[in-house]
Amino acid sequence: MMEKALLPGLTLPELENYVKALGEPGYRARQISEWLKKGAGFEDMRNLPGSLLDVLRGSAIAQPASILSRQRSRIDGTEKYLFSLQGDHTVEGVLMRYRHGLTLCLSTQVGCRMGCAFCASTLGGKLRDLRAGEMVGMATLINRLCQPERVHNIVLMGSGEPLDNYDEVLRFLNLITSPDGLNIGARRISLSTCGLPEEMRRLAREGLPVTLSVSLHAPNDTVRRFLMPIAHRVSMAQLLSACRDYAQVTRRRVVFEYALIHGVNAAVDQARELARHLAGMLCHVNLIPLNDVPERDLRAATPQEVAGFRQALENAGISATVRREMGADISGACGQLRAQYLKNPVGPMWKETSP
């Protein structure tokens, strides 16, 4: 059987070709595109003829994502979603309320094959890549739900390594920044990677100045190899060289993510070592107080360790902030909602949690 086309994954010219191939006038593409931008399904497209809708239902999908569960934090309004996708797959998404607007965190793969020790998303490996149309579908669905507000920023930091799904992620970036789509500026998008130098350099040349957020999490190769298997293939020197190139080509500062883990990477000496590596680079360090990951026996650094680490970086002239914990009452580590659901599927649910 032929696979159905994912309409949110098509550009407007591609959609035009698609409707023309069905014997319809090209202007129908614009009508469909306006609906897709609103996260609509075929049932909403009331200005299209019934005959066209019948054909479309047989050959295409308008909204590839649906919401299986939605939890809302009573502390700060953060919302955590579990999406259902084709093939009985599930991925998570998080909507955070910052002063600079609503920020949506999306996944790029079902699971992940990178194996980072602190990450629940990788426990079952990678099941499949997400398609651009699925990522656009999740974004438009959430944008629709948060009206009259809108999604202002997107971070690709959910499950998956975005650069391990390069072509579909690039297509997503082009669609989501397009005036025909949600029109979210590239500068309001962050892409988080565990550090694949070749793909980072390729991305720098795409002309999409997204913020590159690099999961560093270590002051040297030894600690990084303990936490992140990718470090066996890519040394810190190779990674930081690609980061310098990215900053130079895009003129965007690179953000380094650093989850502070008690007894592993949170000592003041390690902060000084990190600062020596980053000296002179256009960059910022985002310190993350890790949520405990019981599956991996990793514990969060203490508040004193977090403060001391940050101070040591700043003393060495490296800009650093501590990430505010969002949705502390609902989140846990990334991937935990999906893990809970896989253990105990309960069907659609809405839950508001108390601190």
Identified catalytic residue from 92, 168, 199, 305: 92
CA pseudo-torsion sign 344, 349, 354, 355:
positive
Q: In the bound complex, what is the minimum distance in angstroms from residue 185's beta carbon to ligand SF4? A: 24
Q: In the bound complex, what is the minimum distance in angstroms from residue 115's beta carbon to ligand SF4? A: 6
CB-count exposure of residue 169 (10 Å: 0-12, 13-18, 19+): buried
| CA separation for the pair 227, 218 (Å, rounded) | 8
CA 185 to chain centre: 16
Per rule CB under 6 A, count of chain residues that contact ligand SF4: 12
Which range in 34-42, 107-115, 136-144, 268-276 contacts ligand SF4 by CB under 6 A? 107-115
Q: What is the dihedral of CA 178, 183, 186, 191, to 10 degrees?
A: -100
Residue 229 in tokens: 């298997």
Contacts of 119 (CB under 8 A, 6+ apart): 112, 293, 333, 334, 335
Query: For ligand SF4, which residue of 12, 96, 110, 114 counts as binding (CB under 6 A)?
Result: 114
Which range in 56-64, 109-117, 134-142, 148-156 contacts ligand SF4 by CB under 6 A? 109-117
Which range in 11-19, 61-69, 117-125, 265-273 contacts ligand SF4 by CB under 6 A? 117-125
Q: In the bound complex, what is the minimum distance in angstroms from residue 66's beta carbon to ligand SF4? A: 23
Per the annotation, the verdict on 105 as an active-site residue is no
Q: In the bound complex, what is the minimum distance in angstroms from residue 259's beta carbon to ligand SF4? A: 9
| CA separation for the pair 152, 134 (Å, rounded) | 19
Instruction: Give the nearer residue to ligand SF4 in terms of CB position, either 275 or 339.
Output: 339
Distances in Å between the Cα of 17 and the Cα atoms of 49, 102, 132, 178 are: 18, 34, 18, 18
| CA separation for the pair 26, 13 (Å, rounded) | 9
Decide: is 116 part of the binding site for ligand SF4 (CB under 6 A).
yes
Matching residue, tokens 């998570």: 92
Identified catalytic residue from 116, 194, 243, 334: 334
Residue 224 contacts residue 231 (beta carbons within 8 Å): yes
- Report 155-194 residues binding ligand SF4 (CB under 6 A): 159-161, 194
The letter for the amino acid at 181 is: G
Decide: is 257 part of the binding site for ligand SF4 (CB under 6 A).
no
Instruction: Give the nearer residue to ligand SF4 in terms of CB position, either 177 or 215.
Output: 215
Query: For ligand SF4, which residue of 68, 119, 204, 298 counts as binding (CB under 6 A)?
Result: 119
- Report 209-248 residues binding ligand SF4 (CB under 6 A): 215
φ, ψ (nearest 5 deg) of residue 174: -65, -40
Decide: is 195 part of the binding site for ligand SF4 (CB under 6 A).
no
Buried b (16+ CB within 10 A) or exposed e, 286-309: bbbbbbebeebebebbeeebbebb
Instruction: Give the nearer residue to ligand SF4 in terms of CB position, either 194 or 236.
Output: 194
Instruction: Give the nearer residue to ligand SF4 in terms of CB position, either 8 or 197.
Output: 197
DSSP state of 352: E
Q: In the bound complex, what is the minimum distance in angstroms from residue 119's beta carbon to ligand SF4? A: 3
- Omega cis (within 30) before 289: no
Query: For ligand SF4, which residue of 63, 121, 213, 336 counts as binding (CB under 6 A)?
Result: 121
Q: In the bound complex, what is the minimum distance in angstroms from residue 228's beta carbon to ligand SF4? A: 7
- In DSSP terms, 82 is beta-bridged to 69, 92
Which range in 42-50, 88-96, 153-161, 241-249 contacts ligand SF4 by CB under 6 A? 153-161
Instruction: Give the nearer residue to ligand SF4 in terms of CB position, either 277 or 296.
Output: 296
Per the annotation, the verdict on 273 as an active-site residue is no
Query: For ligand SF4, which residue of 32, 56, 106, 112 counts as binding (CB under 6 A)?
Result: 112
Contacts of 73 (CB under 8 A, 6+ apart): 79, 80, 326, 327, 328, 329, 330, 331, 353
Q: In the bound complex, what is the minimum distance in angstroms from residue 112's beta carbon to ligand SF4? A: 3
- Residues of this chain that interact with ligand SF4 (CB under 6 A) are 112, 114-116, 119, 121-122, 159-161, 194, 215
Q: Please give the positions annotated as active site.
A: 92, 334
